[in-house]
Amino acid sequence: MTSQNTPLKQQRIAVIGYGSQGRAHALNLRDSGFNVIIGARPNGPSFQKARADGFTVTDPANAAAEADLVALLTPDMQQPQVFEEAIKPNLRPGAALLFAHGFNVHFGQIKPEAVWDIILVAPKGPGALVRREYEAGHGVPCLVAVHQDVSGQALSRAQDYAHGIGGARGGLITTSFAEETETDLFGEQAVLCGGVTELVVRGFETLVEAGYQPEVAYFECMHELKLIVDLLHEGGMAKMHQFISETAQYGDLTRGPRIVDADTKARMKTILEEIKTGQFAREWVGEYKSGNQQYQALKEADLKHPIEQVGEKLRARMPWLNPAQRAKAAADAAQKKAAATA
């Protein structure tokens, strides 16, 4: 086994979990010259996919035993069991255990012994984007944090790993497990997922209930959202104001605060407090352990909403929205062009 003071590129990294983030991290690390093995359930879909991608694949326990750094990238609710059964008995003292989200460590679902570096590298984007940006020569910004530094090299290990997945190209921000976890959950619940989707659905309902066509309501409240998000993503409020009409700007500035007002912010503060006190974590862990009945019922109701039915029909008329179909169309066009010039 290599020394804990050896640069990470000369050590062995075990990626446990080969889903969205796991696959992206593993491929990017390998392309950056790191020594990567995969830990996955034997003969499961992830095991087979990792093997097809050319990795050495073994079960999580063996992967942990062979590694200098273990990246635990299974879903949050699966991590405590994987840690107890595969990592805790096998990861050698002085090695590092890395997370891409601090949930389980911060809320005490995983309580690592004081013999390993406990670090975090959290890309600010889904796995597919982490991989796509890396392949394009760019990178998704990453948060890095140290919960426990046994080797004296914990931060360096986290930074090296972040470099390996392309995160340094987009920028690294040093944080803590608490800050990453609490802000990530808040963003998901109050803005990015819960907030935005509820705003879209309520807007759609308001227009339809007023007698407007569902298809028109869909375009106004769902479809065109991407146009605004892209402007915000590329250049913040300034670029959005630059590219929308003065009428839209005036409506934004005078009506927006009437929709999202001080009462909304007060409820956001309540949600943040529930996150900080661990109330949300306890609720979610309890729901998962009890069989996810409420979660499944809420999700099913969400997916049966009329906006989904209308959207499915409209998106079928726009095949270019599908990345696979866009890629096929581009390949077909390139083939036709090559044949025409041959």
| Closest CA relative to residue 133, chosen from 159, 166, 162 | 166
Q: How far is CA 86 from CA 37, 129, 160, 271, in A?
A: 15, 29, 25, 34
Residues 6+ apart with CB under 8 A from 193: none
Please write the tens of the pLDDT for every residue from 323-341: 777 777 777 777 887 777 7
Angle ∠(214,223,334) on CA atoms, nearest 5: 130
Q: Is 184 labelled as part of a ligand binding site?
A: yes
Collapsing DSSP to helix, strand or coil, 173 comes out as strand
Helices (H), the chain: 20-31, 45-52, 60-66, 79-82, 103-106, 127-135, 154-164, 167-170, 177-186, 194-209, 214-218, 225-243, 246-259, 262-276, 279-289, 293-303, 306-316, 323-341
Amino acid at site 64? A
Residues 6+ apart with CB under 8 A from 104: 76, 79, 80, 83, 110
Please write the tens of the pLDDT for every residue from 181-232: 999 999 999 999 999 999 999 999 999 999 999 999 999 999 999 999 999 9
- pLDDT recorded at residue 1: 43
**Of all residues in the chain, what percent carry a pLDDT higher than 90?**
89
Beta bridge partners of 38: 15, 57
- pLDDT recorded at residue 76: 96
> Which CATH superfamily does the domain covering 7-176 fall into?
NAD(P)-binding Rossmann-like Domain (3.40.50.720)
- As a whole number of Å, the end-to-end CA separation of the chain is 56
Beta bridge partners of 173: 143
Amino acid at site 207? L
Please write the tens of the pLDDT for every residue from 11-63: 999 999 999 999 999 999 999 999 999 999 998 899 999 999 999 999 999 99
Full-model pTM: 0.90
* Residue 36 near residue 13, CB atoms below 8 Å: yes
Count the alpha carbons within 13 Å of 51 in the hemisphere toward its beta carbon. Answer: 12
How far apart, in whole angstroms, are the C-alpha atoms of residue 148 and residue 221? Answer: 45
| Closest CA relative to residue 99, chosen from 15, 167, 175, 174 | 15
**Is 241 an active-site residue?**
no
Whats the size of the chain, residue-wise? 342
- pLDDT recorded at residue 55: 97
Work out the pLDDT band at 88, boundaries 50, 70, 90. Answer: very high
Q: How far is CA 253 from CA 147, 188, 237, 247, in A?
A: 42, 25, 11, 10
- pLDDT recorded at residue 298: 96
Q: Is 167 labelled as part of a ligand binding site?
A: no
* Residue 55 near residue 26, CB atoms below 8 Å: yes
* Residue 97 near residue 124, CB atoms below 8 Å: no
Per-residue pLDDT at 5 exceeds 80? no
- pLDDT recorded at residue 3: 47
Please write the tens of the pLDDT for every residue from 51-82: 999 999 999 999 999 999 999 999 999 999 99
DSSP letter assigned to residue 44: S
Q: Is 195 labelled as part of a ligand binding site?
A: no
* Residue 204 near residue 219, CB atoms below 8 Å: no
- pLDDT recorded at residue 12: 97
Please write the tens of the pLDDT for every residue from 262-313: 999 999 999 999 999 999 999 999 999 999 999 999 999 999 999 999 999 9
Q: Is 274 labelled as part of a ligand binding site?
A: no
Show me where the domains of the chain are located.
7-176, 188-337
Per-residue pLDDT at 4 exceeds 70? no
**Segment 128-139 mean pLDDT:** 95
Q: Is 291 labelled as part of a ligand binding site?
A: no
Instruction: List the catalytic residue out of 25, 101, 106, 147.
Output: 101
Q: Is 45 exposed, middle or buried (0-12, 13-18, 19+ CB in 10 A)?
A: exposed
